[in-house]
Homo-oligomer: A and B are copies of this chain.
Amino acid sequence: MIHKVQYYETDMMGITHHSNYIRWMEEARIELMDQLGFPYREMEAGGIVVPVKSVKVDYLKPCTFGDEVEITVGIQDFNGVVITIGYEMRVKENTVCKAVSEHVFLDRAGKFIRMKRTMPEFCAAVERMMAGSSLAEQKADSSDDRFTG
């Protein structure tokens, strides 16, 4: 997907404020769930929430107002309880950000859901997507990049 950087996403440093990348990860993740066939809106309507357990974000280069950020997203890992999602953001030929987020599946009472038992069709879709994914293989290498702004 493409996210065009908005003026309201910049800060007085003249670049995108770093908190916005966290939001773009959510945009990309929700599009990923659409592609998976399990729109997030429907999952919540069905009583399953998928909060964020952790994020890890490496800001490699700045971007700013008007830039078109191309976000690639993929499932890196899923053990039935925790799902790990990877992100790479590019502006033209430059990688501006690499990130990973982890999520859990909870019912309305806030209890963990074991997806393999509760929603095996979701697990099957994740497996099919991971089999076809290339980002999943890039799993380990986000730590050796450096901010070069």
A interface residues (Cβ-Cβ under 8 A, vs B): 6-8, 10-15, 17-20, 22-23, 26-27, 30, 39-41, 44, 49, 51-59, 62, 64-66, 104, 106, 110, 146-147, 149
Contacts and interface: CB of A to CB of B under 8 A. Distances in A.
B56 A12 contact: no
Nearest to A7: B26
A51 B56 contact: no
Given A66-B41, A106-B149, A149-B110, A26 B53 contact: no
22 contacts: A6-B27, A7-B26, A7-B30, A8-B11, A8-B26, A12-B12, A12-B64, A12-B65, A13-B49, A13-B51, A15-B51, A18-B51, A18-B55, A41-B65, A41-B66, A51-B147, A53-B147, A54-B57, A54-B58, A54-B59, A55-B56, A55-B57
